[in-house]
A and B are shown apart, each in its own frame.
Chain A
Amino acid sequence: MTYQFDFGAVLQYWPLFLQGVETTLLMSFWSTLAGFVMGVGCAIARSSGGPLLRRVVGAYVEVIRNTPLIIQSYFLIFGLSSVGLTLSILTGAILALVINITAYTCEIVRAGIESVPRSQREAGECLGLSPLQVYWHIILVPALERVYPALTSQFVLLMLVTSLLSAVGTEDLFGIAGNIQALTFRNFEVFVVLWVVYLAMSALVRGAFALAGKFMFVRKRKLGTLL
């Protein structure tokens, strides 16, 4: 092996890497938040909406889940700009991510909602809870608690997949690393640094979700038992 590794040449650009980390985390945060809210909304629509609404949401989910994100974002971002609607690159990228993650969140949450046994709802009704209380305390919150690990994995994948949006020009960690490659010609070293930084970020996101779960699911925090 005659190749001389030179990480110094790459690491001197650490402020750029840091800026990239910031953009990646920003993109992940907003698309996670919006995707979670809209995904839960779609799951409710798909499990208890009218027949037409169910079909529309179902079709949306199937189309998104059976086409790659890269094509969706090209279609959306280049498509919108071809009809004269220009978004900033970051907004367009986050929009594409939200449209994508909403479909996955919807499927995961719907599975959770459908896993709540019928007898639980009936028990809630017998206790004199209002329909809204039954939906919130007995269906939605336990359903979310049950699928929370799957949601966490999905949102970690979302953070990792923001790198794909560098193809439309976002200056996220992966996009900025492309500039550093052009500056240093040290492609392999740049990828090794990226590898380490992304690993640390996925640990961070996992940790953040574990912490958020502690706040969100009071029952679990107090009892510590499985559902």
Chain B
Amino acid sequence: MNQEQALYLLAGAWGTVLLSALTFACSALLGLAIALMRVSGSRAVRSTAFGYINVIQGTPLLVIMGICFYGPSIFGAAETSPLFAAVLALTVHAAAFLGEIWRGCIESVPRNQWEAAECLGLNRIQRMFKVILPQAFKIAVPPTVGFMVQIVKNTSFASLVIGFAELSYNAKILNNSTFKPFLYFGAAAVLYFLICYPLSWFSLRLERKLTIARS
């Protein structure tokens, strides 16, 4: 592997990091909305969120990518950029999973905290944002960091339907022109591992700390 090829691979890794960061930022917003909808007082709102989660979790990410890539131009958008389509698809997908993870965290805040907030005369919104969410946040950190690993790995799907130039895509291009699969895919695997493993390790450590703190 010469320097130029190594730099090309690293440029791909940068694409992966960029895509992951944008996806995480967008899906955190959408995921929070979904999680809040799941614990809403209205039955219609709850079942809308439930339906969304079930439909998205039953659809392959590649199909969501296709819909997000070809869909916008049908509904009047001029042209869909690969980055936009990739972030949109990954966000729609990740938000369903984050929404479900965070619902679990919100519901695991002890019941008496909800009741105490009610007794203090806080309204629904105050109770959620001042009492429940700050406590749910602590519980949510370890699984969320763990899910970031999934997001990083899922960005590799963007190399297929959409053809966004991230790590897998660049590794494939290099392999196509040189045919040294062990070298390039091995190097790509190492780069993915270097991004993902610290997140996995950190998530596990946070989880252990939380378990000790709660027991």
Contact = CB atoms under 8 A, between A and B. Distances in A.
Is the A/B pair a real complex? yes
Interface of A: 1, 3, 62-63, 65-72, 74-75, 78-79, 81-82, 153, 156, 160-161, 163-164, 167, 174, 187-188, 190-192, 194-195, 198-199, 202-203
Of all A-B residue pairs in the complex, the 4 with the closest CB atoms, nearest first, are A78-B181, A202-B58, A191-B66, A66-B196
A63 B193 contact: yes
Given A160-B58, A164-B62, A62 B197 contact: yes
Contact of B157 (A1, A70, A82): A70
Nearest to B71: A188
Given A164-B160, A188-B66, 11 more contacts: A67-B192, A71-B192, A74-B168, A74-B171, A74-B172, A75-B186, A78-B175, A82-B182, A160-B59, A188-B74, A194-B60
Contact of A174 (B60, B172, B175, B200): B60
Contacts of B160: 70, 164, 167
Given A82-B179, A82-B181, A202-B58, A71 B67 contact: no
Interface in B171-202: 171-172, 175, 179-182, 185-186, 188-189, 192-193, 196-197, 200
A79 B67 contact: no
Contacts, number: 116
State the majority secondary structure of interface residues on B: helix
Contact of A187 (B55, B60, B70): B70
Nearest to B200: A66
6 contacts: A66-B196, A71-B188, A82-B182, A187-B66, A195-B67, A202-B59
Contacts of B60: 160-161, 163-164, 174, 194, 198
A70 B200 contact: no
